[in-house]
Amino acid sequence: MKLKSVLIANRGEIACRVARSAHQLGMRVIAVYSEADADALHVRVADEAHLIGPAEAARSYLDATRILEVAKASGAECIHPGYGFLSENAEFADACEAAGIVFVGPGADAIRAMGLKHAAKDLMLKAGVPVVPGYQGDDQSDDHLKAMADETGYPVLIKAVAGGGGKGMRRVDEAAGFADALKSCRREAEAAFGNAQVLIESYVAAPRHIEVQVFADAKGNCGHLYERDCSMQRRHQKVIEEAPAPDMPAKVREKMCAAAVNAAKAVNYRGAGTVEFIADGAKGLRPDGFYFMEMNTRLQVEHPVSEAITGVDLVEWQFRIAAGEPLPLAQKDISITGHAIEARVYAEDPNSGFLPQAGKLNVLKWPAGRPGLRIDTGVEEGAVISAYYDPMIAKMIFHGPTRGDAIAGLAASLAASTVLGLRSNLAFNRRLITETAFIEADFDTSYIDQHLDNLCDAEIPGKALIVAAEAWLQSLKQDAHRTPWSGLTGWSMAGLPRCDWLHLRVNGQDLTVRIDWKEADRHYTVTGDDGDVTGVVSHGVLSPVELACIVDNDSLEADVWADPAGGRVLVSVLDVHLDVTLQDMLNRDEEAGAASASLKAPMSGKIIQMLAEPGQHVAKGEQLAVLEAMKMEHSLKAGFAGTVQSVGAGEGDQVQEGQVVIVLASDEAAG
């Protein structure tokens, strides 16, 4: 049987990725989209596309009934779920089979067997696969879970049994913090998975997260495509993935891959799957030092690194297995070639707690024509990153002959990429993979969280501030909508050297810029809260999107986007994203007062917990509310000690970015 058409029940990067392989196989591609994704790239690369509902995922990409209706009406022979959404929904797999539509994934029984972590651990114990010590029983009372954590020994992990992607997981280092962590974990698990049940696991010292890509057909054949190391994580969410795992001894690889295959066979698996292990890296990787965590019964986000080192198109294999074909290659014919590393590029601000960003990608540039570089993305320049979904922009994958080559190639590619309009983790990723610890493979899953201060540099380099001011000046010169007097040139009627002033706001920081014109050069003095920065700019030339200038004899190039309506210039230079606007000098006192007294929603979302009430005295840093947005919880904390004057939203309320949630009166103001 050859499958001739596929409905992709997903969006964004993975929908585009699946469509690419489907087209290569000559299949007709059918896309679905929400109202928020009407102009999305995955819609345009498909042969046909159908609206399935509003922006909310629960009413569109998670609406199994509506998706099946579209599949039947469009004549889709199979449905590929991608990852996330319905990809591990056993009921959806059953519904596809009942409708006579092939589900490109494992059978519903295998999804159920591995879908709940506690049941999967019991199954693995029976199959002889090593598991992490802990508790995965049905007694979910607070007291019993606390007792089991005490018995296991701290630190422990509380994990949602239906969890994934780092959601519904909390590390607890001592008994005193268990109750609050359990409450938070359950709340997030219920919101993300509709299941608040948890398990307790011993926290493995120096943990390495290593997973094995497995594949099985319907004829009983099962094999692996080696391992991936996903230890570079932040809050249990993967940031950097690579294959093969660095410093992996041959004996450990052999035993781990065999355990993964046994895990798949234990549930009569079919298709692509990933068996995840936690390894104790304190004394190096050892045959007796790894434990089963979970099995993801779908394609993984990081699958491209496995494709790179094996030369296999995993999505093509998924379609072939779903069509009833045997595994295309025997285990002896699959080998490792080179090394591949993937960086997830997100619209988020590392310097503000990795706050997700939503809005328009005004500039999006990737390096072109680089051997070994692969970009998987679901957006283009001008696209909008929606607050309703994961803020991923792209995955950058580099494959080289050695791990060192892969690191160098990926670092250079990250440095040559530009995102303007929204802050991104491009520079953060580049700094991370060029850390000595990463290069020497001396890290575990806690590395990022322990080294955030070094990896997140909130200070803007002085030369970057000068380039930002120069970009603003050059944009004024080129803006035909403004009067001739706004294009500063240094000319004066008296023929004397001229001094001009700009009052700018750069990334929220108020700056006063003095420009002294001396012959062909511009002497800048930028004054802010941290003092003065000075520099001499010569030969500044702004093309429509690039600024080239010399600052203190250093040649610098910056990517620039100027709002056609005026009033805003975006600059990317020296690894920083700068948002430049004019200060409103007539409204400074009012703005300063509001900023010091108002706690605003950092992005659109839902208030799921309100801890403040009028008249309450709060300490600096105290959590006052919890906002749920982009599938994650975000704490709103007091920036200073004071008294709550008013509360502008309650639990369950939807709030918009910038909306005042809580108004505080500071203790200093009262004094």
| Residue 247 CB-density burial (10 A; 0-12 exposed, 13-18 middle, 19+ buried) | middle
Q: Which amino acid is at 137?
A: G
What H or E segment, with its residue span, contains residue 615? none
Of the candidates 228, 253, 298, 431, the residue annotated as catalytic is 298
Assess contact for 25 and 96: CB atoms under 8 A. Answer: no
Through-space distance between the first and last CA atoms of the chain, rounded to whole angstroms: 80
Best CA proximity match to 40, nearest among 60, 62, 64, 63: 60
Report which of 402, 260, 318, 353 is spatially closest to residue 106, judged by C-alpha positions. 318
- C-alpha 117/C-alpha 606 separation (Å) is 28
User: What whole-number distance in Å separates Cα of residue 21 and Cα of residue 14?
Assistant: 11
User: Which run of H or of E encompasses 69?
Assistant: helix 64-74
Question: CA angle, corner 635, sides to 634 and 636, nearest 5?
Answer: 120
Residue 644 · residue 616 · CB < 8 Å: yes
Give the strand order in the sheet containing 632-637: 632-637, 623-629, 605-610, 654-655
| Gap between the Cα atoms of 265 and 105, Å rounded | 15
**β-bridge partners, 80:** 8
d(CA 625, CA 95) in angstroms, rounded, equals 40
In sequence order, the 6+-apart residues with CB closer than 8 A to the CB of 154 are: 172, 173, 174, 175, 203
Classify residue 554 as exposed, middle or buried by CB count within 10 Å of its CB (0-12, 13-18, 19+).
Answer: exposed
Examine the residue annotation and report whether 112 is marked as an active-site residue of this protein.
Answer: no
Contact 510, 517 (CB under 8 A): no
How far is 493 from 515, CA to CA, in rounded Å? 17
Q: Are 276 and 164 in contact (CB under 8 A)?
A: no
- Residues pairing with 355 in the sheet: 349
**Residue numbers annotated as active site:** 298
